[in-house]
Structure 1
């Protein structure tokens, strides 16, 4: 099975046809019901205030718009045709000023005000309605592959001219509202750097709707529209809505706080479940999986867990063949097993002769959810070790208690002032190492210093640590 990795998506989801009326309101209700809004009223008010300030200078100033922050880690912002604009928390992490945040919001206002949704070609594909769109935006594991495919179709609906027009519109209302229109280029440059890095290390295709082959710093047409907007700057401008650096200090980083990890445990508030790995194992999570690392790392053993909703009459042996694509000739052994009165399915894959690595797959069902476990061992591990570890994980799946929440670990953005000699390598906080891929490069990206920049003494620097 392919698992969708982190993707860079800055997507304006504006649709036409039967879903046009009230689509944003439907999403709002669904997000509210599923707890997708970022649970910090300061941020909701901050983003709304910036949006309303920009709106006063838009040709849509007499129309009602709504601005929200979603508790989603992906780099994304989108608008619906009825004036609902949603900013993903993950995007905010990469910004460094209120001007840059305003640039994102202004761009999305532009797509709505300029009625770009009328040109979209994907409306007929949205027969699933707001519910399916909400799943796409929030990244629930079993729908991510379908979501990625559909996202690519949505993205193709905007062309180069629409994007430049939205940039021009956004830059103009930025300037009229007293923001620096050059923030448009700054913002797109930071996101382009992230996209290039993601493509390089994760082999992802670009998906941010405003990113084309040319880097923003070298895009002459983009520079022209932004330069034109500078003529609209007022002689005196209002102060910022808030202190951006004060706001971003403490912003949650990574996966939503509906789930968390601590040492060898994973906590899921949504399903009220705890998954406990063996003692001294280290737990990490990404968009689709919970990953347990043995004390000696992947060279010893690793267990990856994905969760799927209950399918009626699911037969594990058929599931691994039909859904995971495992051929019968590759199976060494499969059996129905039991541990602590918990029944589960266990499959061992064949290993090449003289190989010191191996893989097992287990499926355990609890409370209408399937837990798919992929356990691998390396040269420092053994088949018996990984089998015993899988048993311990299955035994360690239990209901969440109030006591569990007192031990929750949450990654947050922390602001500090750089001192002489600081590098991004030295600024990687030990508490965050286990929860971040490419920690040094992540810090460089979120601070706008990709690919080789380092902080200067006196700079405000964003680092990530557990609070």
Structure 2
């Protein structure tokens, strides 16, 4: 569909502009010829605008930013294990001279990625859903493939060249300075870079499978990982529909490959030639024993969701959301969404710097001077104030509650103003539920952890889900954790993961 639209757009351009774009393509070709370097994997000449020294420098500069954004998962034994598995794969790669650093990030997001120069990351969120050491090696091998083939610098070089080419072309050719010509160029460049990225993903799959086999792991684990991510995608789409949101698709690891992709299966199966025996190592028990006890979902530093309730040990507070609302725990805020996206609520906290009442805080710090139906909030012995305002034509409930020298700010509303009264009551109830963490809630403020157990004849996913503190769709998430999504069931004697 995109290709058809682009062709129509090009045909609709005046002949002179089309010729100008062709000239510009020639300029980009010239840039490509001027910036070629030998590919460490294929030996072919690739267009790059960065030397290897610059590539390594990029990794060094961005690594601290990644660590600051995500945080390092504080489990040294697990960090050492992932480093060892990663090195086993990297040591037989096409760039063995690099020093590879494999880091587990303290994030529940399902992802893995690499920086130029050998900095490779995997989240504990992704590790929770893997089920063998070979699958872990597949993820790390895929990322090593990106590094060895210099995908990061090649794609960044192509992007910079496209931008530079348009800038130069617009200076030389006035007809390219129109919005229509720029949009056409951006669409063409985006399509080229998108295809470039898909080819890089497939090449990394091929390289990862090759590295798996050469390090005596089962290369078929690459397909197992893709199956895990496909199931995640199906689950995420269903969750998005519950919230009344459009699902944008998973854009991370292996995103461009459904598990029945013929090309992918071909490149993975071709790696069997590198195996020393009939089948490589899988390492299910070895892996499960390593992640036994790993944090699942929210970290204690960001607070814990448990059903409708939220507990934060560090900030010493708790509150309760409306029933069946979807709650998103972000690093600096909490967001809640009513079913089908019919209403929303965002909660943040800010230091109190002046001795002023909550009503003045709303007026001066939040800049809201017009507040209707203002009234004090004095629940749980806390000082607060709330009212209704109208911003950009939308009715919003605003509430501020003071706790421990922090001002907790609640802002919520309905998708349709006709439904505002219906949801306003629920938003106000949430703000009124804020209270200091009680002694009996401290245990609930602890992080959930993965527990690896041998399944008994009395176990079932429904029973495990009923005992779990997983907030959103616990049964489906337990099935996802164990590769049984959708609809699979526990079998006695198996080693499986549950969440406690």
- Three-state SS of the structure 2 residue aligned to 1:415 is strand
- Three-state SS of the structure 2 residue aligned to 1:44 is helix
Aligned to 2:463: 426
- Three-state SS of the structure 2 residue aligned to 1:79 is strand
| Rounded Cα–Cα distance in structure 2 between residues aligned with 1:451 and 1:241 | 21
- Three-state SS of the structure 1 residue aligned to 2:372 is strand
| Rounded Cα–Cα distance in structure 2 between residues aligned with 1:103 and 1:266 | 36
Give the structure-2-normalised TM-score. Answer: 0.64
Following superposition, the deviation at residue 426 of structure 1 comes to 2.8
- Three-state SS of the structure 2 residue aligned to 1:101 is helix
Give the structure-1-normalised TM-score. Answer: 0.69
Of 308, 315, 336, 1:273 maps to 315
1:176 is the counterpart of 2:176: no
1:55 is the counterpart of 2:96: no
1:163 is the counterpart of 2:201: yes
- Three-state SS of the structure 1 residue aligned to 2:295 is coil
Compared with structure 1, are the counterparts of its residues 101 and 158 closer, same or farther at alpha carbon in structure 2 (3 Å cutoff)?
Answer: farther
| Rounded Cα–Cα distance in structure 2 between residues aligned with 1:386 and 1:312 | 20
1:132-143 paired onto structure 2 within 5 Å: none
Following superposition, the deviation at residue 230 of structure 1 comes to 1.0
Bigger proportion of residues as helix: 2
| Rounded Cα–Cα distance in structure 2 between residues aligned with 1:365 and 1:92 | 38
1:152-301 paired onto structure 2 within 5 Å: 156=194, 158-202=196-240, 203-211=246-254, 215-216=258-259, 218-235=260-277, 243-261=286-304, 266-268=310-312, 272-277=314-319, 285-288=327-330, 290=334
1:49-448 paired onto structure 2 within 5 Å: 49-121=84-156, 156=194, 158-202=196-240, 203-211=246-254, 215-216=258-259, 218-235=260-277, 243-261=286-304, 266-268=310-312, 272-277=314-319, 285-288=327-330, 290=334, 304-307=345-348, 315-317=366-368, 334-339=372-377, 342=383, 344-347=385-388, 361-364=397-400, 371-374=409-412, 387=428, 390-393=431-434, 396=435, 408-420=445-457, 422-432=459-469, 435-448=470-483
Compared with structure 1, are the counterparts of its residues 369 and 78 closer, same or farther at alpha carbon in structure 2 (3 Å cutoff)?
Answer: farther
Q: Deviations over 1:177-236 (max 9, x none)?
A: 1100000011111111211221233142113345466621x2221111111111111249
Following superposition, the deviation at residue 89 of structure 1 comes to 0.7
Following superposition, the deviation at residue 174 of structure 1 comes to 0.6
| Rounded Cα–Cα distance in structure 2 between residues aligned with 1:373 and 1:223 | 49
Compared with structure 1, are the counterparts of its residues 121 and 204 closer, same or farther at alpha carbon in structure 2 (3 Å cutoff)?
Answer: farther
Q: Deviations over 1:60-101 (max 9, x none)?
A: 111111000001011100100021001011001111000000
Aligned alpha-carbon RMSD (Å): 4.6
Following superposition, the deviation at residue 364 of structure 1 comes to 2.6
Contact in 2 for aligned 1:282/1:292 (Cα 8 Å): no
Structure 2: which 5+ residue stretches go unaligned?
Answer: 1-47, 161-189, 241-245, 352-361
Contact in 2 for aligned 1:336/1:343 (Cα 8 Å): no
| Rounded Cα–Cα distance in structure 1 between residues aligned with 2:195 and 2:224 | 25
Q: Deviations over 1:220-269 (max 9, x none)?
A: 21111111111111249789698211112111111223133387874546
Aligned residue-pair number: 391
| Rounded Cα–Cα distance in structure 2 between residues aligned with 1:54 and 1:421 | 40
